[in-house]
């Protein structure tokens, strides 16, 4: 028979139906041993797993001894053993020669089929080496083509490829940010620096909320830092400042009358003398014009004191004398405040500055380049952030804080004597009055004993006159 190699492909593939056992062999074969049968890629054995019909130079079929399952993959190939089965002699038959030639053609077809399924070099290409590297060099390795010559060469190991295969998702992620990675390459030194200080970075990150809070008030923090000495002084006197703040109305009153307070301070000895006899001074205050007249005529007053009988005659004008004692509340209680008044007089500008404290210090910040430094001070940053409203107040009033700083001690003294300052403030008009007449008060203080004696004598004279009046009435 004639066999066309191109029409005689030595293989056929089937997808079995459920229970199928018989599968046609559409190509010529000669013996059952010429066929190889695969079930789902597994080579089956003749007579154990299947039987063959046909052959002897024609087509045929194979029959599975166990029926196939649905969609089982059946592959049937031909592989005629190489060899010569016919020996030509002087007497030969045409049939025997044809059979031998058919076998040879079938063998060629088998080889062609195998060759067509192998890796091949294109006809038009120069032949590159496709010889495998030595067995020892390729053990456990892959085979790849050289990037220049295209020849076979040893590639990465199987373990390496397995390791790469286990991180394909990570590789894909890196590929997606390759541009970013390239950009980072220019910042290796900076990245290493951050790595060396990673503990500090972590510390800053833990307190990042506070750091952001501080950053929002960095201008105020700068103001506070520049005046930290004054801030410290104010902080050391915070109790006194709080007390002063609660009495600002009185302090303002004293400040407005500070010239009078200064005058009183300059004459503090006389003021103390007056304070020790405040009742008498209060009485005198109501008739300062008369006291001035007495001062002008103090010689005559002394004469009156030495001439009590004549003074008794003065009893007829006792109403005027009584007026002197009528307004005891006009002069405030100055007693015991000489040191305090002097202190207040020396710090009027500071007291005024205290009155303006109402604002806030903004929160503390550190710049990005100072992350390590911020981490070292994260405790302080947290403290500043937790008290940021107070820092804002100080920052907004830093000029006042600066003004208060040098006077912290004075403010402390004021805070200890706020009650006395309140007394002075309540009687500031009287203090001013005393200051305006300080010369007279000083003279009065010097003649206080004489005045008291005169008042006593006038009181006695009044009593005597009353007695005379009663007696005269009784005998009338």
Do 173 and 214 lie in one domain? The reply is: no
Which residue in 88, 45, 89 sits closest to 66, CA to CA? 45
Specify the number of domains making up the chain. Answer: 3
Pair (272, 390) in one structural domain: yes
The answer to whether the predicted template modeling score (pTM) of the entire model surpasses 0.75 is no
- Closest residue by Cα to residue 272 from 445, 42, 436: 445
For residue 104, tell me if it sits in a domain.
yes
Please name which of 278, 286, 284, 319 lies closest in space to residue 301, comparing C-alpha atoms: 284
Kindly state whether residues 185 and 241 are assigned to the same domain.
no
Of 116, 136, 154, the residue that ends a domain is: 116
Residues 172 and 64 in one domain: no
Task: Show contacts of 100-103: CB within 8 Å, 24+ apart.
Answer: 102/1, 102/3, 102/28, 102/30, 102/57, 103/30
Cα separation, 28 vs 217, whole angstroms: 95
Say if residue 405 is in the same domain as residue 262. Answer: yes
Instruction: For 433-444, write each residue's pLDDT tens digit.
Output: 878 888 777 776
Residues 6+ apart with CB under 8 A from 200: 371, 372, 374, 375, 376
Average pLDDT of the residues in 259-279? 80
| 28-40 confidence digits (pLDDT tens) | 998 999 999 999 9
- Are both 264 and 396 inside the same structural domain? yes
205-228: average pLDDT: 87
Residues 57 and 176 grouped into a single domain: no
In a domain, 365, yes or no: yes
Based on the fold, state whether residues 48 and 92 are members of the same structural domain.
yes
Closest CA to 9 of 130, 115, 106: 106
- 285-314: pLDDT as tens digits: 776 677 667 667 777 667 667 777 755 665
Query: Domain limits at 259?
Result: 208-286+325-436
83 and 9 in one domain? Answer: yes
281 and 234 in a common domain: yes
228: Cβ contacts below 8 Å, ≥ 6 apart: none
Where residue 91 falls among pLDDT bands split at 50, 70, 90?
low
Verify that 338 and 217 share a domain, yes or no.
yes
Structure token digits, residue 449:
């004993």
């Amino acid at each position: 028979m004639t066999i066309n190699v191109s029409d005689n492909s030595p293989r056929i593939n089937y997808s079995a139906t459920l229970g199928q056992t018989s599968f046609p062999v559409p190509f010529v074969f000669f013996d059952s041993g010429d066929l190889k049968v695969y079930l789902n890629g597994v080579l089956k054995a003749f007579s154990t797993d299947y039987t063959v019909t046909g052959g002897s130079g024609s087509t045929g079929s194979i029959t599975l001894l166990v029926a196939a399952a649905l969609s089982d993959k059946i592959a049937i190939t031909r592989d005629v053993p190489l060899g010569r089965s016919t020996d030509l002699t002087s007497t030969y038959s045409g049939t025997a020669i044809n059979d031998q030639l058919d076998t040879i053609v079938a063998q060629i077809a088998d080889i062609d089929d195998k060759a067509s399924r192998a890796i091949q070099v294109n006809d038009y290409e120069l032949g590159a080496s496709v010889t495998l590297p030595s067995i020892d060099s390729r053990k456990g390795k892959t085979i790849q083509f050289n990037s220049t010559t295209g020849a076979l060469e040893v590639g990465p190991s199987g373990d390496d490829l397995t390791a790469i295969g286990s991180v394909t998702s990570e590789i894909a992620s890196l590929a997606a940010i390759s541009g970013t990675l390239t950009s980072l390459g220019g910042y290796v030194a900076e990245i290493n620096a951050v790595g060396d200080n990673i503990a500090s970075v972590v510390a800053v990150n833990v307190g990042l909320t506070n750091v952001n809070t501080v950053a929002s008030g960095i201008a105020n923090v700068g103001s506070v830092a520049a005046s930290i000495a004054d801030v410290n002084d104010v902080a050391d006197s915070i109790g006194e400042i709080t007390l002063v703040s609660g009495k600002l109305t009185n302090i303002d009153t004293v400040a407005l009358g500070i010239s009078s307070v200064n005058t009183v301070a300059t004459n503090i000895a006389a003021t103390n003398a007056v304070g020790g006899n405040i009742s008498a001074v209060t009485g005198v205050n109501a008739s300062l014009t008369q006291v001035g007249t007495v001062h002008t005529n103090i010689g005559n007053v002394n004469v009156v004191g030495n001439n009590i009988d004549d003074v008794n005659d003065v009893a007829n004008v006792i109403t005027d004398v009584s007026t002197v004692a009528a307004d005891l509340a006009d002069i405030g209680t100055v007693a015991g405040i000489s040191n305090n008044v002097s202190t207040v007089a020396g710090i009027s500008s500071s007291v005024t500055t205290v009155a303006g404290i109402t604002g806030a210090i903004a929160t503390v910040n550190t710049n990005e380049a100072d992350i390590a430094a911020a981490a070292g001070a994260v405790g302080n940053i947290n403290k500043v952030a937790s008290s940021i409203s107070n820092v804002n107040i100080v920052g907004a009033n830093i000029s006042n804080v600066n003004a208060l700083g040098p006077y912290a001690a004075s403010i402390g003294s004021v805070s200890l004597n706020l009650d006395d300052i309140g007394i002075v403030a309540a009687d500031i008009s009287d203090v001013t009055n005393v200051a305006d007449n300080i010369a007279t008060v000083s003279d009065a203080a010097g003649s206080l004993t004489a005045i008291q004696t005169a008042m006593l004598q006038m009181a006695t004279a009044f009593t005597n006159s009353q007695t005379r009046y009663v007696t005269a009435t009784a005998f009338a």
